[in-house]
């Protein structure tokens, strides 16, 4: 009998970083980086990074809901981004690097609104600018972007450090 896995799509700046942060969670079966939310079919990295495609860099997460819930994924996602930055994330600037939760059902939307509201209250730094959008599409990125942190650990670590990602996450989330 086939396992009933579910999918979630989140955008949080550089897709390499969100993939790296969420992939190790227990219950995450698979991750795939790509592009979501725009109208252009099968966009390329160059088209998305130009900021003109309407897409954001995103991660599609396949997970086992018997091990990790959608709410737990949302919590992990938000704790790995700067939810107050509307201009992108860290050194990646532009609408293609903004934070987005793509919900698939009314229940997912409700859960996202609930978690977002609780974290806004907890942090008290103003409203989260993360968009909650109905899922419309996801296009896998080019092969060289998949599992980038695992395949290029030195380059990835330098990129992440140079962008100040962990430093800002520590400021926002107190870690």
Domains in the chain, CATH or no CATH each: 6-169 (3.30.1060.10)
Alpha-carbon distance of 152 to 148, in angstroms, equals: 6
What is the mean predicted confidence (pLDDT) over 9-23?
97
What is the mean predicted confidence (pLDDT) over 13-29?
97
Alpha-carbon distance of 135 to 2, in angstroms, equals: 24
Confidence of residue 1 (pLDDT cuts 50, 70, 90): very low
Q: CA-based Rg of the chain, rounded to a whole angstrom?
A: 15
Alpha-carbon distance of 28 to 104, in angstroms, equals: 18
* Catalytically annotated residues: 14
- The pLDDT of residue 2 is 53
């Amino acid at each position: 009998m086939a396992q009933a896995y579910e999918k979630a799509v989140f955008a949080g700046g550089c897709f390499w970083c969100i993939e790296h942060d969420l992939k190790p969670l227990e219950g995450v079966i698979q991750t795939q980086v790509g592009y979501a939310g725009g109208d252009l079919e099968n966009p390329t990295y160059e088209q998305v990074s130009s900021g003109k495609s309407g897409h954001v860099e995103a991660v599609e997460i396949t997970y086992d809901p018997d091990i990790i819930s959608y709410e737990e994924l949302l919590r992990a996602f938000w704790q790995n981004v700067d939810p107050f930055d509307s201009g992108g994330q860290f050194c990646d600037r532009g609408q293609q690097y903004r934070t987005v939760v793509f919900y698939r059902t009314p229940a997912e939307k409700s859960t996202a609104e609930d978690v977002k509201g609780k974290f806004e209250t907890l942090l008290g730094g103003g409203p989260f600018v993360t968009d909650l959008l109905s899922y419309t599409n996801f296009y896998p990125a080019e092969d060289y972007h998949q599992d980038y942190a695992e395949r290029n650990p030195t380059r990835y670590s330098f990129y992440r450090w140079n962008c100040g990602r962990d430093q800002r996450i520590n400021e926002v989330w107190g870690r």
